[in-house]
Amino acid sequence: MGDISSKKYSGYKSFQYLEPGVDYKDIELTKEIGRVDQYQVPLTESEEKRVAELYRKCIVISLHDHAFCLPADLTQLSEWSREGRTNTAYEGFSVSCMDAIFDNLMDGFAFITSKASWH
């Protein structure tokens, strides 16, 4: 169930069915993998085996996460948020131990929910 090696990721990107620059402003986003140095919690051999067993047997769910990609240039954060196109980090999620996320969406800085809400 939760085994990372069994995950399947097709390469899907948020809004790939839209045309960047036409349907929304194309703003470069942060890398999903390799953006920051990885840190591995040191575990004993028996702890490693237990973790592997839990991933194999259990579904791992995050009850509060922000699974979106921010702009590479954070000075564009307001402009990006106003586009209303929150890109989910599917690639990054695919290499995590998590199987599901209850996303906290744009809590705290969502400036728009629709570019044409009254039309």
Q: Which amino acid, 109?
A: F
What are the residue ranges of helices labelled H in 1-118? 45-57, 77-83, 90-94
86 contacts 109 by C-beta, under 8 angstroms: no
Please tell me the predicted confidence (pLDDT) of residue 1: 47
Please tell me the predicted confidence (pLDDT) of residue 15: 92
DSSP 19-42: -BTTTB----B--SSSSS------
What is the pTM for the complete model shown? Answer: 0.77
Choose among 88, 34, 99, 14: nearest CA to 62: 99
Across the chain, mean pLDDT equals 85
